């Protein structure tokens, strides 16, 4: 499991998170949702030690402070919201960086298989900086997948911690990536993902934590947490769940599109 207790984060004298408790279990996709500026990315960055924080974070029963850097790299792969490269690496070189950080560096076929999983087959020799934003995002996800290629290692789960993994993607690639995350969890690994799209979250996530104004205001299965009262309070607007609009405007639901896009 990943457990976080009483997480507090202050940045530039401003309190971003206050007393947040969080749990993620292997075999599940755990989503973190909430309005802009609520602290959900900050929570993920606290879990990955990218911001100063107080409280306690454990991965698989051990405090993160007790792990050596290479041990953390072997147990979890991280996808930040944005990443830049200063040198003209090819796509395959970027993806292989995950092999260098993890424990599968001896198996060079993994990088190609990871590219296939994220729909970038044939992009190996292209320069990373020539890709679109969505393609770059998928290449970085392939790198993170390489790092924790086997979801369970020596009986212990491994983790993907992802910040908005589908934010720059079209709906077909959103479904492709969310399916990758679901399969990783089904195979025994754990996924923690900051999400914006509530429909995609409802379709794939097993458990949801809602962050609002620096507090975790709800946590549980999607069916329990995604209700009118909780979502309206979090997003400060009148939201209705599972209600078909009465106006004639078209709307698209990924839950319906999933079947036709399953082979993307």
Q: Can you give the residue ranges of every domain in the chain?
A: 2-263
Rounded to an integer, what distance in angstroms lies between the CA atom of residue 74 and that of residue 114? 17
The predicted-structure confidence for 126-142, as pLDDT tens digits, reads as follows 999 999 999 999 999 99
- 2-263: CATH homologous superfamily? P-loop containing nucleotide triphosphate hydrolases (3.40.50.300)
Bridge partners of 161?
A: 78, 192
Along the 264 residues of the chain, how does pLDDT read in single tens digits? Answer: 999 999 999 998 899 999 999 999 999 999 999 999 999 999 999 999 999 999 999 999 999 999 998 899 899 999 998 777 767 899 999 999 888 765 555 667 899 999 999 999 999 999 999 999 999 999 999 999 999 999 999 999 999 999 999 988 999 999 999 999 999 999 999 999 999 999 999 999 999 999 999 999 999 999 999 999 999 999 999 998 988 777 888 888 787 675 444 444
Going from the C-alpha of 248 to that of each of 43, 190, 243, 244, 255, the distances in angstroms are 39, 40, 14, 10, 20
Rounded to an integer, what distance in angstroms lies between the CA atom of residue 243 and that of residue 262? 25
pLDDT of residue 46: 96
Matching residue, tokens 């209700």 = 227
Bridge partners of 54?
A: 8
Rounded to an integer, what distance in angstroms lies between the CA atom of residue 202 and that of residue 207? 9
Q: What's the gap between Cα 256 and its chain centre?
A: 22
């Amino acid at each position: 499991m990943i457990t976080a207790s009483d997480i507090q984060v202050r940045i530039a004298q401003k309190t971003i998170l206050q007393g947040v408790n969080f749990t993620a279990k292997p075999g599940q996709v755990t989503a973190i949702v909430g309005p802009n500026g609520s602290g959900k990315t900050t929570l993920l960055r606290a879990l990955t030690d990218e911001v100063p924080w107080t409280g306690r974070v454990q991965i698989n029963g051990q405090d993160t402070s007790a792990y050596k850097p290479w041990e953390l790299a072997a147990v979890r792969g991280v996808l930040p919201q944005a990443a830049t490269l200063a040198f003209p690496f090819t796509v395959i070189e970027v993806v292989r960086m995950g092999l260098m950080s993890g424990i599968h560096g001896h198996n060079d076929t993994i990088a190609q298989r990871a590219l296939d999983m994220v729909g970038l087959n044939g992009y190996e020799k292209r320069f990373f900086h020539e890709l679109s934003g969505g393609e770059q995002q998928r290449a970085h996800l392939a790198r993170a997948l390489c790092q924790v290629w086997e979801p369970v290692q020596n009986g212990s789960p491994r983790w993907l911690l992802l910040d908005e993994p589908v934010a720059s993607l079209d709906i077909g690639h959103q479904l492709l990536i969310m399916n990758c995350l679901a399969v990783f969890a089904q195979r025994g690994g754990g996924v923690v993902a900051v999400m914006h799209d509530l429909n995609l979250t409802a379709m794939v996530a097993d458990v949801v934590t809602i962050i609002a104004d620096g507090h975790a205001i709800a946590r549980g299965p999607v069916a329990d947490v995604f209700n009118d009262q909780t979502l309206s309070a979090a997003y400060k607007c009148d939201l209705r769940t599972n209600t078909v609009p009465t106006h004639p405007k078209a709307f698209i639901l990924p839950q319906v599109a999933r079947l036709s896009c399953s082979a993307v």
